[in-house]
Every structure is written in structure tokens, then in C-alpha cells.
Amino acid sequence: MRPFRVVTLSAFIAAALIAGCKQKPETSAPTTPAPVAATANDSAALSSAVDAFLTGAFQRNPVFAANAGKHEFDGKLPDYSPAGLKANADWLHAQRNTFAAFTDDKLDEKGRFQRDYVLAVIDGQLFWLEDSGFAYNNPAYYAGDLSPSMYLTRPYAPLPQRMAAFVTYQEALPKALEQIKANLKLPLPASYIDLGVNSFGGFASFFKTDVPAIFADVKDDALQARFKASNAAAIKASQDLADWLKAQKPQATQDFALGADKFSKMLHATELVDMPLDQLKAAGESDLQRNLDALKAACDQFAAGKSLSDCVAKVNEDKPVGGAVEGARAQLAGLRQFIVDKDLVTIPGTEEAKVEEAPPFNRWNFAYIEIPGPYEKNLPSVYYIAPPDPTWPKAEQQAYIPGKAVLLFTSAHEVWPGHFLQFLHANRAEWKFGQLFVGYAYAEGWAHYCEEMMFDAGLDGATPETHIGQLSEALLRDVRYLSAIGLHTGGMTMAQSEQMFKDKAFQDPGNARQQAARGTYDPAYLNYTLGKLMIMQLRDDWTETHGGRASWKAFHDQFLSYGGPPIPLVRAQMLGGKPEAKLWTVAAGATPASNASSAAPASATTAPASAASSAQKAAPAITP
């Protein structure tokens, strides 16, 4: 789960809000333009329909709008009532009918791609809203919408203006939390309860401990009075919801599994992947074994005679100087220069990313990045890193901090050339829709792909220690992939998933617990490896006729030019034909110790273009 506009689980909104301008009254109804019917001039009609869709999307998802830089929506929260959720679903179905009416014979190639991209967004959003059931049992569905960090960390306006927006947000929060509580149908899965307790309790702690100091210097007595009153109410409402959830723990269940049919529907509706689950699982098992074999070869050089677990532990003993935040700050300049020196991908613009400690309400995963939306100008992105949970034993807290080699690839994933660089490209896409909606597998697949690509290009001398750092991250994502399938379709328990993170990904106890729990409430976290394998196969297929290894930069630039649709749609654009999912797998006879991309694709079925679909809820943060 992640903040900004990556389209995953937490409602197609940026997990953070922005701040400042005039609000419409609470009672004002959305004034969405009527759906545009297809006509003979379908290119113009399609463009008008997209504009109407964006208008309606902003009105129904004000956090998404505010995060994108539409400041007239600052401070507002969505309507989470049953009537509000139904109205959103009805609107989405009507919009789907509108775009499905634009038939292939009346659109040029660009129009067909744009239609399918919009349908992808709609179908993914409908899956999370209607099919997943998460609006009624999963706090992760809401957590991204409620994050206040953009008010506090994004300097898009003077502090008094951002304070006014934050106060409006605080004033709206108790009603939103009451609607969320009313939506949750008991009993809930235990891991969902834990997530809610940590998230909403984290809000309360953050509002009480951290926020007042941020606005203390604002000299506006009336605004300070509003802040004090709304802050007290927000603290109480957040803590009350956390306490209510905690009280449900004795009746908690382990009923988190989507089931095979719903899981398959998720993959198709959110990523246009229509592959049988046994084939999907086999591709993940193949990649896991490829990376385990590569790890053994690297460890034979780095720590001969030690077990793989001890070898990984030895790499992680070399901690970054000053801690993870300081270590990451020191790494970013070198990563950027490496991209330039190796000419791997175009860096558009001069923007840089800051590195900060993650706020208390958003520490359920080690790292994530928040990136300003496409309507913002000249604002920083922030790469957040979470400290270990202070309630853990000291040894576990120390183990949670990664070694320098592992942190290097986390920084590559989040910033250079991962999420940050990808969104520099997305924010410059020629189509505004592509700037606004970026899919889970596209974003996380690209960032994870970049880790292996950077090692293959020689990052940090491509030493065995560096390779172990890269492989540690790859194995983590392989186990996520297999845990998602196992937890939701194969009867895997959280304990079994946690053990697999320890045994196959060599994770410390704290990370293993977090990762297993995440798999229950974020079933799409297989998209890191799923997206990576689709990109690797696409790169092999495209470069085969475009100059081979020498054309990597051209491939990367073209791949990043589309915004962020489902990868099968990008494949169709770059290679021709219909959208289809093809996963890279290690070729028979290939040397497993090498991570070079030279393999045969896993077979997959082809999804019809008109069924394009991408997950449509933005989670709290872009994470590694």
C-alpha cells in the first residue's frame, strides 16, 4: 500500500491530502457532466468523455483531487456512507457503459489505447469497491484517504493556508471515521484489526504529539482556536476507532482469503492478467529458485562455508552510518550519477527527492515515497523510512535496520531510477489521464525491475556483497508473490507465510511478521514480481529487434512514456497486437547465478482490449 496515485487498494486517491482554498458547502451535490455518447466524431467525443470522467472522479474522490494539486478540494474527505459508496458504484458503471460504446472501428490506434486505459481504471476501481468486500472489512481500504501528511510536508502554500486546510480536514475526520466504523461488518480478520488499531491509533498519537508543534508559529488566534478544538476531536475520534477495533480482537477470525475465483478476477480486473493460477504460481516459484541459486553463487564468493542465512546476516551487519535515513541520503547522489554515467534512462528535469523518517501513522512498512501530483509545480518528493517498532526486543529493532547493500536497492527502488524517476516521466506524459492514473504492477514492477537492471549494469562494482543486497530484495518480492497466491487461494496461514519470509527471503522476525500480515490485507502485493517479470519479457522482446542491450535506454524511455496503464496494454503499444500478459522465466540451461535477462516467457492467455482493467484505489504509500 502506498500514498499517491498508484492505483492499488486504498481508493483512487493519494494517501495524503493537500491544503488551502475555499470549500464548497458540505451539502453541495456533485455536478458531473452527463456522459458523452459515441458519435461519428469519436476522437473528439472520447476526449470530452475523458474530461467528464476526470471531473466526476475529482468530485467523488476529493483526496485524490487534492493530492493531484487541485486545491479547491483541500480538506474534504469522501462520503463513506452506504449511500455514498453505492452512488460511486452506480457512477462507475454508467461511465463504463459510456467508454465501452466507443468501438474499435470508430477510433484510431491512439483512441483505442486511451479508451482501454480508462476502462482499466474503471474496472479496477469497481473490483475494489464491489467485488473485494474490502469496504466492509478492511481498514486498508480507507487508510490512504485519511493520511494528513501532504498538509504537513508539502510546501505548496504558506503555512497558514496549509494549516487552514488541515483544520478543515480535522473537522471532517470524526464523521468519516464514524462512517468507516459503521461500514465494518464484524467479526473481522485479526490482521485487519491489527492494521486498523495501528493506523488509527497512529493518527491519534501523531495528532497529539507531532502536529501542534508544526503550526505553533502561525499567528492567527481564530485559526488556532479552530485547530485546538478540531485537534481534540480528531484525536478522540481516531483513538475511539482504534480502541473499538482492539475490543473486537477476541472475536477475530482468520477469514482473510479472497478465494481463487475472486483472486483471479482481481488479476484480470486490475492488471489485465488472465493466467491460470497454477501457471502464475509456477512462474513465481521459478523466479524464487533463480534468485536462491544466484544467492548461493554470490555467498560462495562473499562468505564461503556459511549458510545462506548467515551470509545474508553478514551483509546486513554492515549498517549505514548514522542509521537508515542518513544512509539513504548519502546514497541518492551516487545512484543518480550512475544512471547518467551508464546512460540507462533519461532523467527529465532537475527535481530531487528528500529523505525523512516516516510519521507514526504510516510505519507499517519499512519505506515509501510521496510524490506531488501532476498539477503541482516545483515541489519536493519525500522518501520516508520507518524506524523499528520501539516495543520490539532490542535485537529485533537492530535487525530491522537493513545493511548498506540492501538499503542501496531500496533507495534505487524508491528514487533513482525507481518510483521517483518513473513519476518524473509520468508527470510529463502527453495525456493528463496518464499522469493521474498509474497502475500497481506498472509502478511497483518498474521499481523492482530497476533493482535488478541496476545490478546488471554494474552498480557499486557489482560485487558479491552488492549482489546479495539486490537478491535480498528480489527474494522478499518473490515470497510476497507466492504468499499472495497461497494466502488467498491455497489455504496458507499467516504463520506459514511468515516462516517462508524467514526461510526463503531471510527476513528478520519483525519484517517477516509485517510482510505476512500485509499479504492478508493487500492481496495484490504480488504485483512487484508480477510487474517485473512482465517488464523483463517485454524488454527482451522489444530489444530483440531494436539493437539488443544497447537499446535499453530507448526501451526504458518508451516504456515510461505511457503514464501507467496495465503492462499488457503497454506491450500491445510497443509490439503490436492485442494486450496479453507474458512473464519472463529462467530459460532451460541458463546459468542461474546470473541475473541476466535471457529466457522464455510463461504462456498466458490474451485478454480482449475492451476488457482492459487496472486496480483503482491508491494505497497509503509507494513502498518497496
DSSP-based three-state secondary structure for 148 = coil
What's the pLDDT tens digit per position in 99-125?
999 999 999 999 999 999 999 999 999
Whether the predicted pLDDT of 26 surpasses 80: no
Q: Which domain holds residue 246?
A: 7-188+190-252
Residues 178, 314, single domain; the answer is no
Residues 296, 382, single domain; the answer is yes
Task: Give the list of residues 6+ apart from residue 153 with CB closer than 8 angstroms, or none.
Answer: 16, 356, 370, 382
* Segment 221-237 mean pLDDT: 98
d(CA 441, CA 446): 8
Residues 234, 356, single domain; the answer is no
Q: Which three cell numbers stand for residue 147?
A: 493520511
Phi-psi bin for 460: left (phi > 0), alpha (psi -120 to 50), beta? Answer: left
Q: How many CB atoms lie under 10 A from the CB of residue 547?
A: 12
Whether the predicted pLDDT of 409 surpasses 70: yes
Residues 213, 326, single domain; the answer is no
Q: For position 34, what pLDDT does the model report?
A: 54
* Segment 130-135 mean pLDDT: 98
Residues 290, 347, single domain; the answer is yes
Whether the predicted pLDDT of 260 surpasses 70: yes
Please state the φ and ψ torsions of residue 284, each to the nearest 5 degrees.
-65, -40
Asked whether residue 259 is domain-assigned, the answer is no
Asked whether residue 357 is domain-assigned, the answer is yes
Residues 306, 229, single domain; the answer is no
Q: For position 148, what pLDDT does the model report?
A: 85
What's the pLDDT tens digit per position in 530-589?
999 999 999 999 999 999 999 999 999 999 999 999 999 999 999 999 999 999 987 533
Residues 384, 421, single domain; the answer is yes
Q: For position 621, what pLDDT does the model report?
A: 41
Q: In a 10 Å sphere around its CB, with 0-12 CB exposed, 13-18 middle and 19+ buried, how is residue 293 labelled?
A: middle
d(CA 120, CA 267): 12
Q: What is the DSSP letter of 7?
A: E
d(CA 498, CA 310): 19
Q: How remote is the C-alpha of 521 from its chain's centroid? A: 13
Residues 472, 341, single domain; the answer is yes
Only one residue has cell 501523531, namely: 206
Q: How remote is the C-alpha of 236 from its chain's centroid? A: 29
* Model pTM score: 0.89
d(CA 60, CA 82): 14
What's the pLDDT tens digit per position in 335-351?
999 999 999 999 998 89
Asked whether residue 274 is domain-assigned, the answer is no
d(CA 504, CA 17): 38
What's the pLDDT tens digit per position in 510-531?
889 999 999 999 999 999 999 9
Q: For position 36, what pLDDT does the model report?
A: 52
Residues 229, 361, single domain; the answer is no
Q: For position 587, what pLDDT does the model report?
A: 59
What's the pLDDT tens digit per position in 370-385?
999 999 988 889 999 9
Asked whether residue 528 is domain-assigned, the answer is yes
Q: For position 180, what pLDDT does the model report?
A: 98
| Helix axes of 109-126 and 42-60: crossing angle, nearest 10 degrees | 30
Question: At 616, is the pLDDT very low, low, confident or very high (cuts 50, 70, 90)?
Answer: very low
Q: Comparing 361 with 231, which gets the higher pLDDT?
A: 231
Question: At 272, is the pLDDT very low, low, confident or very high (cuts 50, 70, 90)?
Answer: very high
Q: For position 606, what pLDDT does the model report?
A: 31
Secondary structure tally for the chain: helices H, strands E: 25, 7
Q: For position 264, what pLDDT does the model report?
A: 98
Residues 375, 415, single domain; the answer is yes
Q: Which three cell numbers stand for residue 284?
A: 513465481
* Segment 131-141 mean pLDDT: 97
Residues 101, 243, single domain; the answer is yes
Q: Chain-wide mean pLDDT for the chain? A: 88
3-state helix, strand, coil in the chain (%, to 5): 60, 5, 35
Residues 532, 408, single domain; the answer is yes
| Total count of domains within the chain | 2
